[in-house]
Amino acid sequence: MRILGIESSCDETGIAIYDDEKGLLAHQLYSQIKVHADYGGVVPELASRDHIRKALPLIEAAFQEANCTAEDLDGIAFTAGPGLVGAILVGSSIGRSLAFGWDIPAVAVHHMEGHLLAPMLEERKPDFPFVALLVSGGHTLLVEVKGIGQYQILGESVDDAAGEAFDKTAKLLGLDYPGGPLLAKMAEQGENKKFVFPRPMTSKPGLDFSFSGLKTATAITIREQGGVEGCSEQTKADIAHAFQTAVVDTLAIKCKRALKQTGIKRLVIAGGVSANKDLREKFERMMQGMQGEVFYPRTEFCTDNGAMIAYAGMQRLKAKQYAPMDMKAHPRWPIDSLPPI
């Protein structure tokens, strides 16, 4: 079976074609970073318009890359949420319309389920059950995964997501959009323990996260050092290093707590922040110490992409969980509300 995957939940248009026997046949991605850079963040209306411009040309390019046509498809998967409602409507409308026109089933995919299952695209795949840490610009979730659609939320952020905190802190340090990767690069030049920031919500029981206070602590430190204009490049790097270390430590503490609570020895990390080098090194060491395993997708599949939507869609397609004609976009959509397979 072959499926076309369409991702358009935020500021990246991702198209992919996945074969359940041969694997990923095509992967096309367009990022809107340049479109939103002047505004310091994603402008929803501009994002929607750009998806309209790019989606069909990328679908044609994917067909060429996979050396196939619409007649070779058994279904179309599209992101139906969560995300920016206008952007979601573009991809879901195109996907549902093409499926209707080509007389093949359509599948509505949960964006975070796509991230959660992204490591399944790799040669080394996790077995069920596992604990998943989903860390991106819009979400920070700890989920116990017993199977596809069998999700129990263990913890989530009560304010800023981890990726959002990275981007906002990067802005405080005078970095351009998107700031998260730039902050991580700056942190590489920082000295360890020159500054020490709190590890929020780790001193009390529970698996929820909070990063707004950490962002505030960083802002106060920048102000105490003379503001972003008065800080030397080394001081900025030291602050970036301290911030990143605090976030990674916090995520690790909560994950270790979740693994002990569930008794599971397998951990999946996915989402844009999972590409962070320090985070991966920290989790590798932690899981070795716990005699467990950690899994994550390759870097290009950490951020939003069509491949993860195609894979997740294939699982739902095989289960015949088709999208109805009146399918709606879901800007908010709890992952634990999905039906099991």
Sign of the four-CA dihedral 17, 21, 22, 24: positive
Phi/psi class of residue 23: alpha, beta or left (left: φ > 0; alpha: ψ in -120 to 50)? left
pLDDT tens profile 235-262: 999 999 999 999 999 999 999 999 999 9
Give residue-wise pLDDT tens across range 174-188.
Answer: 999 889 999 999 999
**What's the pLDDT score for residue 327?**
80
What are the contacts of 230-233 at 24+ separation with CB within 8 A? 233/189
Asked whether the predicted pLDDT for residue 328 surpasses 90, the reply is no
The answer to whether the CB of 188 falls within 8 A of the CB of 238 is: no
- Helices (DSSP H) in 263-292: which residue ranges? 277-289
Residue 168 to residue 12: CA distance in whole angstroms: 20
Place 273 in a pLDDT band, splitting at 50, 70 and 90. very high
Dmax (CA) for the chain in angstroms is 63
Q: What is the pLDDT of residues 25-70, one digit of tens each?
A: 999 999 999 999 999 899 999 999 999 999 999 999 999 999 999 9
Mean of per-residue pLDDT scores for the chain: 96
- The alpha carbon of residue 86 and the mean position of all alpha carbons in its chain are separated, in whole angstroms, by 19
- Mean pLDDT, residues 151-160 taken together: 96
* Selected residue with higher pLDDT from 206 and 138: 206
pTM of the predicted protein model:
0.96
Q: Please tell me the predicted confidence (pLDDT) of residue 8.
A: 98
pLDDT for 137: 85
Q: In this structure, how many other beta carbons lie within 10 angstroms of the beta carbon of residue 203?
A: 8
* pLDDT(150) > 90: yes
Q: Which amino acid would we find at residue 302?
A: C
- Summarize the confidence of residues 300-322 as an average pLDDT: 98
| Average pLDDT score over residue span 277-305 | 97
